Structure 1
Amino acid sequence: MSTTEPIATDAPTDHDREALRELPPSAKLVAKALEYNDQLTQSQLAEETLLPGRTVRYALNRLEEIGVVDARFSFTDARKRVYSLQTE
């Protein structure tokens, strides 16, 4: 591995951090929970952050708008979506 290659990480980049500053505290908390946990569903995020499900949904929408969060369908339950921080 070359020392000039960037190391892939799930941590937000400087650009992401700048965009996060403009978001409400709930979105920042959800982003931080996803930083510590690789992938979580909306209900798991609500449990992890102690936020109401509706607030988590709003936070996820805001994070998706700025391109910080990826969402995909769960393999175990197609009715649920799994969220993770977007990787570069």
Structure 2
Amino acid sequence: MSTTGEQRQSPIQNDEEFRERLRELPPSAKLVAKVLEADEPLSQGQLAEESLLPDRTVRYALNRLDEADLVDSRYSFRDARKQVYFLDH
């Protein structure tokens, strides 16, 4: 029991909230999220390759996912010049 009065959400509630926020996004963002769900973390180039979307569309989708706090990124362990993306839920 938390002494700060915060209630922790169950993973199911977090997943439902994740899906609800995702539902409001464009199809390209949904596709990128689905690709990340199946195989993460991925670079922007890998996402473009896996989703068959143009780089520009993947960039737009990642921006929309980031604005909705559904995706996060970090620098790649293999190549520190690149960022890799993963779902944040």
TM-score by length of 1: 0.82
Which position in structure 2 is the counterpart of 1:49?
51
Partner of 1:13, secondary structure, is helix
Write the distance in 1 (CA, Å) between the matches of 2:64 and 2:49. 19
Which position in structure 2 is the counterpart of 1:37?
39
Larger radius of gyration: 2
Gaps of 5+ in 2: 1-9
Which position in structure 1 is the counterpart of 2:64?
62
Deviates more, 1:78-87 or 1:20-29: 78-87
CA RMSD of aligned residues (A): 1.7
Which position in structure 2 is the counterpart of 1:3?
none
Write the distance in 1 (CA, Å) between the matches of 2:83 and 2:40. 14
Asked if 1:18 corresponds to 2:20, the answer is yes
Deviation at 1:77, TM superposition (A): 1.3
Bigger relative CO (Cα 8 Å, ≥ 6 apart): 1
Gaps of 5+ in 1: 1-5
Asked if 1:86 corresponds to 2:74, the answer is no
Partner of 1:72, secondary structure, is strand
